[in-house]
Amino acid sequence: MLPFLPFTRPTLDEETIAGVGEVLRSGWITSGPQVKEFEAKLSAFFGGRPVRVFNSGTASLEIALRLAGVGPGDEVITTPLSWVATSNVVLTVGARPVFVDIDPVTRNIDLDAIGAAITPATKALLPVDLAGLPVDRDRLYGIAARHGLRVIEDAAQAMGSSWRGQLIGSFGDLVSFSFHPNKNITSIEGGCLVMNDESEAKLAEQYRLQGVVRSGLDGMDVGILGGKSNLTDVAARVGIGQLARLDEFTRRRRELAREYFTWFARPEFNALGLGMPVADFTQSNWHMFQVILPESGASSRRAEIMGKLHAMGIGTGVHYPAIHLFTLYRAAGWKDGDFIHAENAGRNILTLPLFPTMADADVGRVVTALAEVLQVSRQT
Ligand SMILES: Cc1ncc(COP(=O)(O)O)c(C=O)c1O
């Protein structure tokens, strides 16, 4: 039998692994010179904008909300189809998430529906580039400008994606990324925030480490309440090795995505009735390749299909169940039927294997296995 094909897998090269060894032997393993270097390289990558790194994308988002002054009494407009971190951070800072359904084609927040959700309490827009497909930045910033709103881009999945030729993160308001191992580049855990100016960056440093401000050799003060979300030098060294390879990774992901489209376009696979992602090979970084399974009645057979694929040596994932239907969110008043497109995706979306070291032939293996499983599942 062929080796198990996971739905994702980080690509860590020997040079990076050796570099981590050097950091471990250096005598300085937490935040230090590697963090500074990683931040400088990220800033250069994003066209010179200030960047700070954190120990997670979640911390980066939470700090972005604090920098934007979002707190109790404020509303933040976001999508129900994301990793739950996106809206959890809004709750963490004491504000209220206001969900707007997705556009079923892009699977990102429906920009046409945002206007109706804006109230006098709305402080910010928090869109997500699901699977790396960018939200329309022209329309997004048009809405924000018309209503005087801050934008916190949850670009956790969009490292290397672009909008009209400009890298996501190189323009805009506050732009947050994640370096979780499943992301297009990783620092094992980690994230970064691209900001507007040095004063925001200084404040982000305070939020990142207990609110501390140092001066001279021995001066220390704490003016605001900060947390503990600094990145280690060991993690930063991994991130440095990864950033150097991002363009190569993105190219390969786009090739593999094209390969999926070629396979799914064949009549026998096209007939499966799968919902396909947007075929964008210039802007998306193809963080994930996700199909929407056909629903049988109102019930999803996703778990059964995933189990059968697993038995055939193929890993899949679910990204994501609709956030508003989690117990915590239902308790705050959301219910079934509130956002039908996100709910349909939440029940039926399936992430297929896609990572840079995957072979072209693996794509054919996935598509034929999925077709076999779906055909059998239809007959039973
Ligand atoms: C859309 C989105 N937002 C936020 C996060 C949070 O990032 P992290 O897991 O690094 O905290 C992730 C990734 O996990 C994500 O995919």
pTM here?
A: 0.97
Distance 186 CA to ligand 1 centre (A): 12
Q: Which residues contact 199 (CB under 8 A, 6 or more apart)?
A: none
Q: Is 132 in the pocket of ligand 1 (CB under 6 A)?
A: no
Question: Which among 218, 242, 326 has a CA at the least distance from the CA of 42?
Answer: 242
pLDDT at residue 298, rounded to an integer: 60
Long-range contacts of 90-99 (CB under 8 A, 24+ apart): 90/65, 90/126, 92/62, 93/62, 93/65, 93/66, 95/65, 95/70, 95/71, 95/123, 96/121, 97/126, 98/122, 99/323, 99/324, 99/334, 99/338, 99/339, 99/342
pLDDT number for residue 1: 77
Q: Answer whether 108 contacts ligand 1 (Cβ < 6 A).
A: no
From 281, 257, 251, 247, select the one nearest 360 (Cα to Cα): 257
Instruction: Give the tens place of pLDDT for each residue, 86-108.
Output: 999 999 999 999 999 999 999 99
CA distance 176 to 152: 7
Distance 120 CA to ligand 1 centre (A): 29
Atom nearest to 82 CA in ligand 1: 1
Report the nearest-CA residue for atom 10 of ligand 1.
57
pLDDT in the model for residue 106:
98
Q: For residues 231 and 31, is the Cβ–Cβ distance under 8 A?
A: yes
Distance CA 367, CA 373 (A): 10
Q: Contact at 8 Å (CB) between 4 and 313? A: yes
| DSSP-assigned beta bridge partners for residue 109 | 102
User: Per-residue confidence of the chain (380 residues) as pLDDT tens digits?
Assistant: 789 999 999 999 999 999 999 999 999 999 999 999 999 999 999 999 999 999 999 999 999 999 999 999 999 999 999 999 999 999 999 999 999 999 999 999 999 999 999 999 999 999 999 999 999 999 999 999 999 999 999 999 999 999 999 999 999 999 999 999 999 999 999 999 999 999 999 999 999 999 999 999 999 999 999 999 999 999 999 999 999 999 999 999 999 999 999 999 999 999 999 999 999 999 999 999 999 999 876 667 999 999 999 999 999 999 999 999 999 999 999 999 999 999 999 999 999 999 999 999 999 999 999 999 998 766 65
Give the β-pairing of 162-163 and 219-222.
unpaired
Is residue 306 within 8 Å of 285, Cβ to Cβ? no
d(C-alpha 190, C-alpha 129), whole Å: 18
Can you give the pLDDT at residue 375?
Answer: 87
Per-residue CA distances from 50 to 137, 195, 199, 276 (Å)? 20, 5, 10, 37
Give the residue from 221, 197, 196, 219 showing the smallest Cα distance to 209. 221
Ligand 1 mean position, distance from CA 311 (Å): 29
Q: Nearest 5°: phi and psi at 214?
A: -105, 150
Q: How far apart are the first and last CA of the chain?
A: 26
The pLDDT of residue 163: 98
Cα distance between residue 286 and residue 254, in whole Å: 6
User: How many CA atoms, within 13 angstroms, populate the side-chain half-sphere of residue 74?
Assistant: 23
Q: Residue 307's pLDDT is what?
A: 97
Rounded-to-integer distance, Cα 2 and Cα 353, Å: 15
Which of helix, strand or coil describes residue 99? strand
Name the residue of 79, 90, 130, 178 to mutate for ligand 1: max ligand atoms within 8 A of Cβ: 178
